[in-house]
Amino acid sequence: MERTYIKDLKKKVGAEVLLKGWVDIRRDHGKLIFIDLRDVSGQVQMVVLPNHTEAHTAAEAIRPEWVVEVTGTVNQRPEKMVKAGVLNGDLELEVTGITVVGTAKELPFEKEADLNFDTYLDHLPLTLRTERSKSIFRIQASIIQAFREYLVAQNFTEIQAPKLIGDDAEGGANSFNIEYFGHTAHLAQSPQFYKQIMVGIFEKVFTTGNVYRAEKHSTTRHLNEYTSLDLEMGFIDSFRDICSTENKLLAHIMKKLSETRSEDFKALGSTIPTVPDSIPTLKLREAQAIIKKEFGEDCSNEPDLEPQHERWICEYAKKTWDSDFIFITHFPLSKRPMYTYEDPADPGYAAGFDLLFRGIEITTGGQRIHDYDNLVTAIKGKGLEPEKFSYYLQAFKFGMPPHGGLGLGLERLTAKLIGLDNVKEATLFPRDLNRIDNLLSK
């Protein structure tokens, strides 16, 4: 018999079916044994009656998380047993046969138990099986899918950027060194150099993948390995083209999420934001003036916004423009990486931006220097040696158009969309200062 997925049972009332899945809950009432069976598509209640002797004996033995194949008849539940609003709440499978295909040891806790975060992380192979986790990571999968779908439709070419690299792109001391056949290599902090090089080949490119930051702090917004959604595009007029692309991209992502994942959002108690046609934009110094006026803190001499400043500006954007998003532009050039393009209309400031969403920075982007000589000068200006970047510099030696792009942090976007307190809750297997799967101190 061909397998039926649990979500399709409603089309099979009265029929004999074969289901495959995990035992979610088992309730033994002596003669009657009830089992909730779960597969990727949903859940259904099954009942095992004593007249199906073999199935009944098997049902007596099985325990939560055992993997079983079950045959049975799909019955409509009696009126008074119907659970309204629940998938298959009006159905029940009367079991005729059970084959155990995988057993499970006793669980350390009930799968849906309310756990402290470390216990949750210690047991991810089990805790990711909860409905809550599944909703979070289905939403995340759909974000990537929508990101890809939108950019492909705009004639971007998807590329794969290496994770083993010679020198870091973002500057600073935040790269992991690794021993590489007697040499020192690094784990990529971003696909920056490669996406720029590929503009010279495909004009418009995007990539999604893990990147690595050796940041030695433990916060609710930092991971040491995260997923960066990157794009880079040639022949731009200014960094505003990148803002506008991100604006439309986000609108597409939210549209897709509301079409495909509204059940997951409902289950998680979250709402999908509306993306304004034109996301409000402030220069950093304007944002700082607002913070001073509205929230009484003078941060006008700082080169960046602190987390509290980001929260305040988002609060202001919500109140003033009813927007969950706000672009902050024109950070001091001195604080941006060497590839950053200076805004000719605002000397000393970057032709670039951060995008804030519900209180946190989710994107950095901007225009890049595309002239070889200017780039060499900028590299030297940062106290770096151009020779170390000679491989990357070839792209510029051999002709590059004005271009720019952005990097969007997938976990931060997911976390803020859903309203999760910690970015690690939006990471399947988070790596942080204290943990690679298990606590490092163990």
Q: Which stretch binds ligand AMO (CB under 6 A): 21-29, 45-53, 394-402, 408-416?
A: 408-416
Applying CB under 6 A, the site for ligand AMO has a residue count of 23
Q: Is 142 in the site for ligand AMO (CB under 6 A)?
A: no
In the block, which residue shows the tokens 């902090």? 189
Shortest CA distance to 437 belongs to which of 164, 135, 115, 125? 125
Binding-site members for L-aspartate are: 170, 213, 364, 368
Q: Which residue is nearest to ligand AMO (CB)?
A: 409
Extended beta strands in 166-203, E state: 177-180, 183-187
**Beta carbons within 8 Å of 405's beta carbon, 6+ residues apart:** 195, 196, 230, 231, 232, 233, 242, 365, 368
Closest separation in Å from C-beta 362 to ligand AMO:
5
Q: Among 43, 45, 288, 363, which residue interacts with ligand AMO (rule: CB under 6 A)?
A: 363
Q: Is 411 in the site for ligand AMO (CB under 6 A)?
A: yes
Chain centroid offset of residue 8 CA: 29
Long-range contacts of the stretch 180-184 (C-beta < 8 A, 24+): none
Closest separation in Å from C-beta 429 to ligand AMO:
14
Nearer to ligand AMO, 230 or 425 (CB): 230
Q: Is 17 in the site for ligand AMO (CB under 6 A)?
A: no
Measured CA to CA, the distance from residue 234 to residue 200 in angstroms comes to 8
Measured CA to CA, the distance from residue 1 to residue 277 in angstroms comes to 52
Site for ligand AMO in 156-175 (CB under 6 A): 170
Q: Among 72, 200, 234, 409, which residue interacts with ligand AMO (rule: CB under 6 A)?
A: 409
Going across the sheet that includes 177-180, the strands are 164-165, 183-187, 177-180
Q: Is 310 in the site for ligand AMO (CB under 6 A)?
A: no
Q: Which stretch binds ligand AMO (CB under 6 A): 119-127, 270-278, 372-380, 407-415?
A: 407-415
Q: Is 197 in the site for ligand AMO (CB under 6 A)?
A: no
Measured CA to CA, the distance from residue 56 to residue 70 in angstroms comes to 12
Measured CA to CA, the distance from residue 406 to residue 232 in angstroms comes to 7
Q: Is 192 in the site for ligand AMO (CB under 6 A)?
A: yes
Nearer to ligand AMO, 212 or 312 (CB): 212
Shortest CA distance to 206 belongs to which of 223, 189, 231, 226? 231
Nearer to ligand AMO, 22 or 341 (CB): 341
Q: Which stretch binds ligand AMO (CB under 6 A): 43-51, 125-133, 224-232, 265-273?
A: 224-232
Measured CA to CA, the distance from residue 324 to residue 417 in angstroms comes to 10
Where on the chain is the footprint of ligand AMO (CB under 6 A)? 170, 190, 192, 213, 215, 222-223, 226, 228, 230, 361-366, 405-407, 409, 411-412, 423
